[in-house]
Amino acid sequence: MPVRVLIATWGWRSHFFPLVPLGWALQAAGHQVRVAARPGLVDAVTSAGLTAVPVGVDLDFATVFSGQIGPVAARLPEHAVTAPGNRMKPEITPDGGVVRYADAMLDDLVAFGRAFRPDLVVYEPFNLAGAITAAALGVPGVRHLWGPDSGTELDLDLETVVGPLAARVGVPTDQVDLDGTLTIDPCPAPMRVPVAVPTEPTRFVPYNGVSVLPDWLWRDDASGRPARICVTWGTMMAGAELTGFVGAPQVVAALAALDLEVVVALDAGQRDQLGEPPPNVRLAAAPLALHLVLPTCRALVHQGGAGTTMTAAALGVPQLVLPQVSDQHFNAARLAATGAGGYLDGPAVDGSAIRDRLTDLLHHRRWTDAAHRLRDAIRARPAPADLVPALARLAARGRVGAPP
């Protein structure tokens, strides 16, 4: 029997992209799928072939997170999850950016939910509005992870952070479950963080948005060029207007002296910061999907966003991560635990350190072997289509709480 699924996404395209393969799988199985997103994400949703529902208003990232986003390395030991007593404490406060995004979309999201009457609500980590909406509608909530579960040790007071939002739509705070009735986890061990909640494994399927295959990729003759690496810096960093962090221009400058072809996959604003590129640097015209270029690359250098990390992992490409903010440090540590990549962090990160670490990554087989093992472990996990029957069974349990 077809079910109705409401996918709620917040923030950035990179939050939404990991949800797309599940949306496709549900839709292909004959279920009704609607994706509720802020107006600025509507094009990303519709270009993925899914039905968008604009909710709330757009917020300016730099304004909302001004003074609230920064490195968590000082609070995050190298093995944050496995070391006893160590906790990652993302800063989610009543006046924080995560709450402001939830506040901006919650009323419309609940109103649409009451009209659509979904059997399930699917949402990403830190999507407070998605979890509250599931409770308001009395249906199971499904939390779909982007990558390693950086919310495992979340420092969040439900009463002060979630309580006022939940009360606004008539939901007691204790009925809101941020982990959801079920968590979908794309990470194999040892990237995966053990959690004490019901979990379904899934395969990470790379989706990077609208993409065009440039002729230099399909006409490529690898025998006639030096080793190719890719540098990218993610969609969040592009609009953050942050200072005091290592950026793509510093990375590209550090690699200019190496005998490499460096493909730089950045948005227009980031490319403008590079100035005149060195001779060994190819500035890829946007849009360039990572899943198209990475199979031709020996390594990827990036900032540690979950989508970028998981895309390279799924394709078996060794990674050098230079984490900058928030969960990027966490993702870097979990990747390092697999041996499929390394990371550089702190004041010692300079051009020399970047060159030395990348040279090691390219010239020692252990990194590639580990990356291939991680790729194979991801491929062995159930495809998104394999999750559909379990989600249909979860929906069949019926409406579990509040009236419509």
Q: For residue 403, is it within any domain?
A: no
Q: What is the pLDDT of residue 222?
A: 74
Query: How far is the C-alpha of 1 from the C-alpha of 187, rounded, in Å?
Result: 30
The answer on 190 and 323 residing in a single domain is no
Higher pLDDT, 67 or 177: 177
Q: What is the pLDDT of residue 246?
A: 61
Q: For residue 253, is it within any domain?
A: yes
Mean pLDDT, the chain, rounded, equals 86
Question: Are 340 and 157 a contacting pair, CB within 8 Å?
Answer: no
Q: What is the pLDDT of residue 151?
A: 78
Q: Model confidence at 150, in pLDDT bands (50, 70, 90)?
A: confident
- Cα of first residue to Cα of last residue in the chain, in angstroms, is 21
Q: What is the pLDDT of residue 327?
A: 83
Question: Are 394 and 201 a contacting pair, CB within 8 Å?
Answer: no
pLDDT beyond 90 at 86: no
pLDDT in tens, 214-267: 999 988 777 778 999 999 986 655 554 544 456 778 888 899 889 999 999 877
Q: What is the pLDDT of residue 178?
A: 93
Once rounded to an integer, what is the mean pLDDT over residues 39-61? 94
pLDDT in tens, 128-140: 999 999 999 999 9
Higher pLDDT, 368 or 68: 368
Lowest mean per-residue pLDDT among 28-32, 72-76, 153-157: 72-76
The answer on 385 and 318 residing in a single domain is no
Lowest mean per-residue pLDDT among 44-53, 311-320, 389-398: 389-398
Q: What is the CATH number of the domain that holds 392?
A: 3.40.50.2000
Q: For residue 401, is it within any domain?
A: no
The answer on 35 and 11 residing in a single domain is yes
pLDDT beyond 80 at 92: no
The answer on 21 and 164 residing in a single domain is yes
Residues in the chain: 404
Q: What is the pLDDT of residue 84?
A: 35
Domain that holds residue 367: 215-379
pLDDT beyond 70 at 345: yes
The answer on 183 and 255 residing in a single domain is no
The answer on 155 and 52 residing in a single domain is yes
Contacts (Cβ under 8 Å, ≥6 apart) of 33: 5, 7, 23, 26, 27, 50, 51
Once rounded to an integer, what is the mean pLDDT over residues 132-155? 90
Question: Are 45 and 13 a contacting pair, CB within 8 Å?
Answer: no
Once rounded to an integer, what is the mean pLDDT over residues 35-50? 97
Q: What is the pLDDT of residue 221?
A: 76
pLDDT beyond 60 at 82: no
pLDDT beyond 80 at 358: yes
pLDDT beyond 50 at 337: yes
pLDDT beyond 60 at 83: no
* Top mean-pLDDT range of 72-81, 82-91, 356-365: 356-365
Q: What is the dihedral of CA 386, 388, 393, 398, to 10 degrees?
A: 160
The answer on 222 and 184 residing in a single domain is no
Contacts (Cβ under 8 Å, ≥6 apart) of 264: 230, 231, 232, 248, 252, 271, 274, 277, 281, 282, 283, 284
Q: What is the pLDDT of residue 80?
A: 40
Number of domains in the chain: 2
pLDDT beyond 90 at 47: yes
The answer on 175 and 309 residing in a single domain is no
Lowest mean per-residue pLDDT among 12-21, 219-228, 293-302: 219-228
pLDDT beyond 60 at 145: yes
pTM: 0.90
The answer on 285 and 391 residing in a single domain is no
Q: What is the pLDDT of residue 267?
A: 72
The answer on 369 and 321 residing in a single domain is yes
Eight-state DSSP code of residue 18: G
Q: What is the pLDDT of residue 257?
A: 86
Q: For residue 404, is it within any domain?
A: no
Higher pLDDT, 196 or 83: 196
Query: How far is the C-alpha of 280 from the C-alpha of 252, rounded, in Å?
Result: 10
Query: How far is the C-alpha of 271 from the C-alpha of 277, rounded, in Å?
Result: 9
The answer on 229 and 128 residing in a single domain is no
Percent of the chain predicted with pLDDT > 70: 84
pLDDT beyond 50 at 76: no
Higher pLDDT, 203 or 400: 203
Q: What is the pLDDT of residue 339?
A: 98
Q: Model confidence at 295, in pLDDT bands (50, 70, 90)?
A: very high
The answer on 270 and 195 residing in a single domain is no
Q: For residue 210, is it within any domain?
A: no
pLDDT beyond 80 at 326: no
Please provide the DSSP assignment of 74-119 as one string: GG--TTTTTSTT--------TTSHHHHHHHHHHHHHHHHHHHH--S
Element housing 33 (H / E): strand 32-37
